[in-house]
Amino acid sequence: MSNILQFIVDETRQILLQKGETVTDITLETEFLTDLPMDSLDLATLIVSLEMHTGLDPFRSGFKTFYNVGQLVELYESIEN
């Protein structure tokens, strides 16, 4: 598991636990707003945490569409290299 993937999974779990939600398995195919009890504010919190943790901002040049964990990992790994 890549560092970015592990951070996304851990941080997503933490956000959900803070809301009092039950955390299920989170995989590359897990969709944030469909499969998890997350809303847009939770997703924004995750993105801010990712930027602070990695120092990377794949959204600096504009909005990028992503739905699942794997797509978000790809966005960060594409600018990490």
Tell me the domain boundaries of the chain: 3-80
Residue given tokens 């195919």 in the structure block? 29
Collapsed DSSP state (helix, strand, coil) of residue 31: strand
User: Is a pLDDT exceeding 80 seen at residue 3?
Assistant: yes
Please compute the mean of the pLDDT values over residues 37-59 and round it to a whole number. Answer: 95
DSSP string, 64-81: ----BHHHHHHHHHHHH-
pLDDT (tens digit, 9 = 90+) per residue, 55-71?
999 998 888 999 999 99
Pick the CATH number of 3-80 from 1.10.10.10, 3.50.50.60, 2.40.50.140, 1.10.1200.10: 1.10.1200.10
